[in-house]
Structure 1
Amino acid sequence: MEPVTLEAEGLRLVPWEQDHLPDLQLIYDDPLIERFMVMPLPWSRQYRERYLEMCARHWRADNPRWAVVDAAGKLQGSMALTHSFSREASITYLTAPWARGAGVAQRSIRAAIRFAFDGLQMHRVAWDAIVGNHASRLAAIRAGFTVEGVARNGVNQRGVSRDCWVGGVLPGEVREADDPPPDYGVIKRQAAFFMAEQPVLETEVAGLRLRRLEEKDLDDLAASCADAETQRWVNLPSPYRREHAEGWLKRTRGTWDRGETVLYVLADAEDRYCGSVELTLGAPGEAELGYFCSPWARGRGWTTAAAQRLCRLGFEELALERIDWRAVVGNEASRRVAEKVGFAIEGTKRQFLHGPGERLDSWIGSLLG
């Protein structure tokens, strides 16, 4: 195939030239690119010298490789299509740090997948991204891709196996600039939140702040979860050991990367673990609140303050419209916290699945934004 140039709503997808390479080096030096891309890094002189010939070989094999430039010819990103199966191509792209937030990826993706369907007669364009790369996921969804799941250890990133999101788009599914997917505003807000570092949250109670769970918390976490009162109301392994806490830390890091949960630790003035508060995201604009307090921190109003602060974050940063709460009937302490936060108790859900093989009646309530 001879190289072709594509127009992309104010951008152009052009064959790579020598003049593009200095800016490509700057892109590859960016920490976010290093975090989520799989190319060998640092991008050495050896790779730079071979890059244009490598792109030419890909074009000869019907695997287009484009530099994405603006009207002035300034590099804005890259775009590539690679045959993966018969009548299927996979798409890869990146955006320059100086071009983020301008819709470069979305416009380039639309141009590339139209070319795949109309010029290469593909029946499907596949996409993947390392789990946690919410910017790539957002751009794919905006252009019409359906995220179809997670491939565990699906990509090798410089010698490390990483989970990756996978998805695809079929002919007729491309979303135009004036046709965002349902709930796109919520998805966009949450993508921005999970791409950033988890912020520390101050509360209205002196000596209490909320931060991420860390390895130094595991002994106190295990002690809190082994406490008889916690065990009575929360579905936890029994007996609860440190290895359970280690597994929970690993799981919560994964659910943060996937954008599924927002977990915070209640930390005192000495930064000691004193409990947990968590939002589990559900349908767009909805989440469920959960919490428990360590036995050495009860009776101070800290759980209420933490729940209030996390709900505020949910409404302000995650674009939530409704937060649900539930507790096993009889858990008066949890109910008092929920009512102080402002939840309306809506009734009792009979025989809710509390744990494997265990169904219990649960109070349910909600808080609206």
Structure 2
Amino acid sequence: MPVPEQPPVLADGVVTLRAPEPRDLTGALERAAESGAYTAADIERWMAYGIRDAWQARTRLVFVIEYQGRYAGTVSLAPDPHGNASVHYGLARWAQGAGVAARAVRLILDFGFGTCGFHVVTWWARVGNWASRRVAWATGFHLGETIPAYAEDGGTVVDAWTGWTGPDDERRPRGAWFDVPVLEAERIRLRTWRDDELDRITTARTNQATAHFLPFIPQPFTVEDARFWLRDMAEQAAAGKRFNWCVADRATDVALGNVTLFGLHPDEIGDGELGYWAHPDAQGRGAITDAIKRIAEWYFATPDAGGFGGKKLLIRTAATNQAARRVAERSGFQHVGTERAAFPLLGGKLDDRVVYDLLPTDRSA
């Protein structure tokens, strides 16, 4: 199908996509100032005739996003020679967080497939651009591999997340995206880790016990290892695979340890497994026990009550890991079995693996 000569007006009752108008210049300049990527002269040329020229040349089909009667950003499709296109979008700060970008992308996808006849629309974003990835997830893109040195962003070659969608795909998420909740107890706060806490992570994960019971963790655990681990935890949450909490002192906010909830089967058994570790100066203070009790309270609560709605929690550890076993038992978990020679240790040795579980009907839950 041919591309229209002029941008049509597309609307869903909340967001409108349309051609630029003179009144949009102020908003476009404000957004450019937020990003710092373009000069005022660049924006003035782009809004005055750049968008029009790109549309007529079929190099980029750009729409202004109007929200609450104001310029909110742009969304566009860049056609390629093979009958496909890539999608690009940017939103003013004031309009973020309300689902505006996702609405705009759904509208332009319907236009691209239904009017222009594109076969596939692709998406990419610089690794770490979680806002862009969230929009791609919300609009049903198949999220693909991370490609090293895939694109140029701000004059720098960057690694990129990628994705694609087709005309018959639904414009809604394909799976869960876990937003890690902030949970509090009397002495601790459970939250996400910050980038300025890398030293706390490296110290906690560089020790003899970690090397012995978790031999797959590199020793010593470096700052670069910690950065990779934080990125991986964020990736796992975005893929709906695990929750990860920093256990912080409620009064000082100093990081004391970590608890991870993984192995989730919410649509089947309704269970999940917990893993945990503590910083050396936090060991013996009961912080991890307090954290696990608080996570269990949230995990067993129904979604209507702000919880996860799980049915069982598990802890599996080496039979000789007395510290981990004490935490499980003090958190109210019951020892329900032992798997012989099932837990790998340092040097290729095997230990028995003990299994603990906790049900919502248990008194401690």
Per the shorter chain, which TM-score range? 0.7 to 0.9
Task: Choose which of 350, 353, 364 in structure 2 pairs with 1:362.
Answer: 353
Alignment of 1:1-369 (within 5 A): 2-10=5-13, 11-30=15-34, 34=35, 41-52=36-47, 53-62=49-58, 63-70=60-67, 73-175=69-171, 180-181=172-173, 186-187=176-177, 190=179, 193=180, 203-205=185-187, 212=193, 218=199, 224-235=204-215, 240-241=219-220, 244-260=221-237, 262-264=244-246, 276-279=257-260, 281=262, 288-309=273-294, 320-322=308-310, 323-349=313-339, 352=342, 354=344, 360-367=351-358
| Gap change, CA 1:80 and 1:233, over 3 Å in 2 | same
The TM-score normalised by the length of structure 1 is 0.74
- Gapped regions of structure 2 (runs ≥ 5): 238-242, 361-365
Pairwise CA RMSD:
3.8
Secondary structure of 1:25's counterpart equals helix
Question: Which stretch of structure 1 is more off in the superposition, 142-151 or 223-232?
Answer: 223-232
Shift, 1:3, TM fit = 1.6
Secondary structure of 2:170's counterpart equals coil
| Gap change, CA 1:345 and 1:135, over 3 Å in 2 | farther
Question: Which stretch of structure 1 is more off in the superposition, 261-270 or 73-82?
Answer: 261-270
Shift, 1:310, TM fit = 5.2
Secondary structure of 1:149's counterpart equals coil
Contact 2:140 2:174 survives alignment (8 Å): no
| Gap change, CA 1:209 and 1:57, over 3 Å in 2 | closer
Secondary structure of 1:258's counterpart equals helix
Contact 1:217 1:273 survives alignment (8 Å): no
> Distance between the aligned counterparts of 2:6 and 2:230, measured in 1?
43
Shift, 1:76, TM fit = 3.1
Shift, 1:82, TM fit = 0.3
Contact 2:77 2:88 survives alignment (8 Å): yes
Contact 2:202 2:226 survives alignment (8 Å): no
Secondary structure of 2:87's counterpart equals strand
Contact 1:6 1:111 survives alignment (8 Å): no
| Gap change, CA 1:99 and 1:346, over 3 Å in 2 | farther
Contact 1:351 1:362 survives alignment (8 Å): yes
Secondary structure of 1:338's counterpart equals helix
Contact 1:277 1:310 survives alignment (8 Å): no
Contact 2:89 2:101 survives alignment (8 Å): yes
> Distance between the aligned counterparts of 1:297 and 1:143, measured in 2?
43
